[in-house]
Amino acid sequence: MRTRRSRSLPRSRRIGSTSNIRTRLFSDVLRNNGNRFTLSNFPRRTVSTPTSEGRKPIIEREEPVPPVKPDLTVENVDLNISTNSKEHHTNEYSISEEGRGLIVRRGQTFDITVEVNRDYDVKKDDVKLVFLAGDNPSPTKGTRVSLILSDKDTKKEWGAWILKNEKKRLSIRINTPPTCFVGIWKLQIETIVKSDNKTIVFDMCHDQNIYLLFNPWCKDDQVYLHEQDLLNEYILNDKGRIYVGNQKSMNGRKWNFGQFEKDILDCAMYLLDNNVSLWSTRGDPVKMARKISALANGSDEYGVLEGNWSGDYEGGKSPLHWVGSIAILQEYYKTKETVCYGQCWVFSGITTTLCRTLGIPARSVTNFASAHDCDGSISIDNHFDSTGDSLEELNDDSVWNFHVWNDVWMARPDLPKGYGGWQAIDATPQEASNGIYQCGPAPLAAIKTGEVYLPFDTPFVFAEVNADRVFWQMTETGDLKNIGLQKHSIGKHISTHLPTGKQLGNWETFCYDRYREDVTNQYKHPEGSNEERAAVMRANQESTKKGIYHEGKAMDVQFELLEKEAAPYGKDFEIILKISNNSDEIRTLSGCICTSTMYYTGVPAKRVKSLAIENEKIAANKSKELILKVTFDEYYSKLVDQCHMKMSCMCTILETKHTYVDQDTFRLIKPELKIKAPATGKVGEKMKAEVSFTNPLPCALTSSELTVEGTGLTKNQVLLQSIVPSNQTFMTTVEIIPTKAGLRELIVSFNSKELEMVDGSCEIKISE
């Protein structure tokens, strides 16, 4: 709804002064409702009524002073949404498509058209544009900006000028600075007429919002990104993959980021409006990225998503069932309550969405064998008793099979030169930073070199990718003995989605996904190189536990702990300990091999089986294999989410008193969900897709459901399914009606009580 006001100003007042035009004396003097002027709150004169006893008034009444009718009024304002949104790469937003508002990027001009009631005279007429942000716009806070039209093309600052004067139609170009606050702005237009002894002002507040975003296409914006292929991926791509699993067996979960969909940008703005009280923060992507890492989780400040790693998801949705960010953010925006539940890849998915919708280049990044350092030691400490059993009460640190966070691209003017580019942020609530569950941005350049003193939270992220594992054994006297150090077990195959358009990668034994880009070299130097060891030593100088590095005597017996082969879920598997005696004497071993189920965060669940090693003789210069066999019936009832397993071994060589200790993880392989759908389709025409997979378990699948989603193809669908018998093929058909043209991806996920995260996807080319 547009509101119009007209008011008269003394000629002596200066036209260009905001304070003069906005004085309380002249506010709301006259309101224009449509074409009908009404009187409201303008100066009045008092009229006295005499009494029989004299001239003293006993009754007073007020008569309004007639207003001055405005000579120049605004009839219509066109924000040119279609043209501007294409120029600003915002035409995919649902807000733009529906014409509900104008979305532009800072540091770049946009054009509007203003229609007035008579020919515009540049000699006696002025147009003033006032941009307002927040509940209490203020010139001193930068949330109220007034622009008198100029004939100059301003750069790097607010400005407006007339491109074309077509009598009653003005084409106006507006420029915003590349440091402008990101948020929702309102536009108020004032026409000013100078005639005779007075100046008449008319103003109108436009009813459509103007959304101002970061601009990675602008060289002067802190988030500037120079390659179009990277912009296409890290800003414009609304789908992708988030990598999960472990370092030996990973896969890319298809994820629907959906940053342009209905309510997503409005949700991001709502989060900022209700949690970022300082508007100056809104212009700084470093502060904004840090804030987003806090707002994405519900641990503080009424954030979006609540984390849950318990395995009990009553009262919410299992993290394994989400296939995209859209349903989560739409639910949050609708209810204004934290959504249940998420784990690291879900937190990363919605963080990517929030950053991209606001204009910050972002990617989801997965680190396999990811360390969680709880005490700032920049090492991962594992404790055992004298028999080899893990002392869980001392093991605060952990190694996650995988952990997903985000990288955001920006300059870092708050740091010395050379630390711009990718910055790590993490929305998963692991450790508090400054009293809030937030993490980053930490420069990848500083992480790689071990310069952990640079902000923000760089020691924590460094430990995630490059900590050393230290094994401690508690002796019978209660002392802790350092029995082992693993220098190269943390931070493997750091992965993100390959930018669309770049050459696909190679097939690899640990990941049959050619859309994966390995970014390990952006986080760390090659394992074992002088540069990598120097980075670890440099970081250790800031550690809370220094001096853990010392060279022990080399063992003359070599060990290797491994899974015999990748085991499909539903089948038996074997764990092998290979032992090689490189000495010229017999060696005697005592210890154990064991396997247990585990959460992907490294937390043990239940022990499955163990094999005792008692006085095992290894002949001189000979090798031997010890095998632990595990059947489906032995592990099935003890599994937790995602079918992760841990194998561990501790052996003592009796003759030399050397101790070998090792831990490793693996994952039981799930079947792939197959989708058969037409390669092409048309907007508005119904399509069908056939979905199938074979149940690999010796038991039926119950409480089954199918989640279907795809930007531009279908809204989120959750379809209940019937029981799937043992070793039988599940098959069903889903219907979709495309709403957008382009190359679209259909994402489908099957979940049941016995088997979860059976995923698949297919691409469909949609035409108008």
Q: Binding-site residues for Ca(2+), please? A: 466, 468, 527, 532
The single residue of 373, 426, 664, 759 carrying the catalytic annotation is 426
The single residue of 180, 267, 340, 344 carrying the catalytic annotation is 344
Cβ atoms within 10 Å, residue 148: 16
Question: 651 near 561, Cβ under 8 Å?
Answer: no
**Residue 6 host element (H or E):** strand 3-10
Positive or negative torsion for Cα 417, 418, 421, 422? negative
Distance CA 274, CA 447 (A): 33
79 Cβ contact partners less than 8 Å away, ≥ 6 residues apart: 101, 102, 112, 187, 206, 208, 210
Distance CA 571, CA 573 (A): 7
738 Cβ contact partners less than 8 Å away, ≥ 6 residues apart: 681, 682, 683, 684, 685, 687, 712, 713, 714, 744, 764, 766
Distances (CA, A) of 55 to 58, 195, 762: 9, 41, 92
Q: Which residues pair with 427 in a beta bridge?
A: none
Cβ atoms within 10 Å, residue 11: 12
- Binding-site residue set: 466, 468, 527, 532
Distance CA 702, CA 519 (A): 40
426 is catalytic: yes
Distance CA 232, CA 169 (A): 36
User: First-to-last CA distance in the chain?
Assistant: 34
How many residues are there in the chain? 768
CA angle 293, 498, 321 (to 5 degrees): 55
389 is catalytic: no
- 3-class state of residue 568 by DSSP: strand
The single residue of 403, 493, 525, 644 carrying the catalytic annotation is 403
Query: Given phi > 0 = left and psi -120 to 50 = alpha, else beta, which region is 97?
Result: alpha
What is the DSSP annotation of 59-117? EEEEEEPPPPPPSS-EEEEE--HHHHHHHTT-TTSHHHHTTSEEEEETTS-EEEEEEES
Distance CA 513, CA 507 (A): 7
344 is catalytic: yes
Residue 512 phi, psi (nearest 5):
-90, 65
Distance CA 109, CA 217 (A): 12
User: Is 555 exposed, middle or buried, given 0-12, 13-18 or 19+ CB atoms closer than 10 A?
Assistant: middle
For the record, the structure tokens of 182 come out as 């990101």
Distances (CA, A) of 206 to 42, 69, 193, 329, 744: 23, 21, 20, 28, 36
Question: 39 near 29, Cβ under 8 Å?
Answer: no
Q: What is the DSSP letter of 526?
A: P
Strands 305-307 and 339-342: parallel
Distance CA 583, CA 619 (A): 9
Four-point Cα dihedral 303, 308, 313, 314, nearest 10: -60
Residues carrying an active site annotation: 344, 403, 426
